[in-house]
Amino acid sequence: MDKTLTISYCEYGSVDELSAADRELLLRAMESTTGSYSPYSHFAVGAAVRMADGNIVTGSNQENVAYPSGLCAERVALFAASAQHGPDSEIIALAVVGRNAEGHWVEASPCGACRQVMAEIEGRQKQNMRVLMYLDGGKIRVVKSASSLLPLAFTAQLG
């Protein structure tokens, strides 16, 4: 039997169409690209997560000459939020944006590994984690649930 999974999302024409809270989160993600260490890819990524209590934690991609040792902006922000506010704190939204070598804002859709981390964090909290992605040309894509970005995700029933 064939079965189909779909991902639904909202697309906004510009940051002006977002709520004030989402606009702030996206701007914080943009600001955080200044902390990117990306001498190898020359692609700066900024991420900002909003906690349920209103706190915002930011991150940027951190590269290393041993390439796999680096980390994406999203996981830097997500792990920092958990480390600083505790693993039981809830993350209700994440915004991500890219800036290329020419300095232009471009899309940075979360990679598979970041989606896995986002899905697990969302799974252990009561609220959805919304994900906002800046798109080329200034549009914004918003998914209502991080888990929807990783259908059929690995969720081990360990011991």
Q: What is the Cα–Cα distance from 20 to 22, expressed in whole angstroms? A: 6
Q: What's the sign of the alpha-carbon dihedral 57, 20, 94, 96?
A: negative
3-state secondary structure of 94: strand
Radius of gyration of the chain (CA): 15
Q: Of 18 and 59, which CB lies nearer to ligand THU in the complex structure? A: 59
Residue 74 appears among annotated catalytic residues: yes
Q: How many CA atoms lie within 13 A of 98 on its CB side?
A: 18
Identify the bridge partners of residue 127 per DSSP, sorted by sequence position. Answer: none
* Of residues 40 and 123, the one with the C-beta less far from ligand THU: 40
Closest to ligand THU by CB, 35 or 70: 70
Q: Which of 70, 79, 125, 142 binds ligand THU (CB under 6 A)?
A: 70
Q: Which residues pair with 11 in a beta bridge?
A: 141
48 forms part of the interface with ligand THU (CB under 6 A): no
Binding mask 114-143 for ligand THU (x = CB under 6 A): x-----------------------------
Q: Which residues bind ligand THU (CB under 6 A)?
A: 38, 41, 43, 45, 61, 63, 70, 72-74, 96, 108, 110-111, 114
Catalytic residue positions? 74
